[in-house]
Amino acid sequence: MKNNITIKSLRWDCAKFLFGFFTFLFILPSMNNNAHISEVLYFGRGIGMILLILANTLNGSVFLGNLLTYLAQKK
């Protein structure tokens, strides 16, 4: 069975990737070293940022894979 990629699913994948990317950009300035916060909270935010980077990498690769599949379908 062939996996057909529609423009609707491609837009959804793009939206997930852009949402993750802009979320990372907006959260990044909150990671400063001058604030007096607990060590647990500091490491928790660091782990959260790493997980956000990994999720955004996964969403980006899914989007690019589906985009290439969609472009190959159009030929």
pLDDT tens string 6-60: 899 999 999 999 999 999 888 887 777 666 778 888 888 889 889 999 999 999 9
Q: Which helix (H) or strand (E) holds 11?
A: helix 7-27
Give pTM, 2 decimals: 0.78
Cα-based distances in Å from 68 to 19, 26, 35: 21, 29, 44
Separation CA 34–CA 74 (nearest Å): 53
